[in-house]
Structure 1
């Protein structure tokens, strides 16, 4: 069972921050073989949606209020530990993130920058593609919007 909590940057414990950054690095840098600057100075402004299993961070997103990242509210850095993906925690963490956007910002329109191979996953959550595909850090992405 996944326990999901939402915290501001200041509410994160040192251990939680370490595990979040470790998970993001493990998947976005090592697994996807993509050298990029994950520590982008935006974590301090984000709300962090964290999925714990047995006290360990195994799923994560960060969300932003409208006007910070995009004109709309946004969800990014969506990640699930490789060894936990068979449990469909991606859906659980995204559904919690969508709910957090509604509760924290009173918004239902959400924009994301999705890796193209995950379009169907995001379609299943109510997101639709907008615009053309583009490269972000060498990986094909597409903007998607949920109304």
Structure 2
């Protein structure tokens, strides 16, 4: 499998990239998870978008949010792996890249995420620790997690 990635600010995305990432987010977050919510939350325009491709097909994605947009800290959101590529390690790969790019783009700071509770062990394996109680977001249990600065 040939793995490549692109990191782009919103205004740098071409129409096909934007369509692909929105389609993947809708496929998983709206259809698969049966979650009715407005995915286009007016934050995308201020984010960096990380697209991971396997053999030219969008396989995983996430967005990198500057501090102050969703949380006081830098954050990673909309983490998604295409159902066709689950179990291949690409979810881990996109998160490892995202952590590296957060440090490169925003500095070596705490990274905060809002994790779906079923994925807590996955994020913990990347160094994130749970902070606080679970909460309901659009009908799905979440918990905030943080990753300390590198080093």
Partner of 2:127, secondary structure, is coil
d(CA) in 2 for partners of 1:63, 1:56: 21
Is 2:95 the counterpart of 1:67? no
1:110 corresponds to: 111
- Which has the larger displacement, 92-101 or 48-57? 48-57
1:87-130 alpha-carbon deviations (Å, 9 max, x no partner): 11110000000000000011231000000000000000000000
d(CA) in 2 for partners of 1:124, 1:81: 20
Runs of 4+ in 1 over 6 A off after TM superposition: none
Aligned residue-pair number? 147
d(CA) in 2 for partners of 1:83, 1:44: 28
Partner of 1:86, secondary structure, is coil
d(CA) in 1 for partners of 2:7, 2:79: 14
1:93-104 matched pairs, under 5 angstroms: 93-104=94-105
Preserved CA contact (<8 Å) 2:63 2:77: yes
Q: Structure 1: 5+ residue runs without aligned partners?
A: none
Q: Structure 2: 5+ residue runs without aligned partners?
A: none
1:5 corresponds to: 6
RMSD across aligned C-alpha pairs, in angstroms? 0.8
Is 2:47 the counterpart of 1:41? no
d(CA) in 2 for partners of 1:81, 1:50: 11
1:55-101 alpha-carbon deviations (Å, 9 max, x no partner): 22110000111122111100000000011012111100000000000
1:1-147 matched pairs, under 5 angstroms: 1-147=2-148
d(CA) in 2 for partners of 1:25, 1:61: 13
Question: TM-score by structure 1 length?
Answer: 0.97
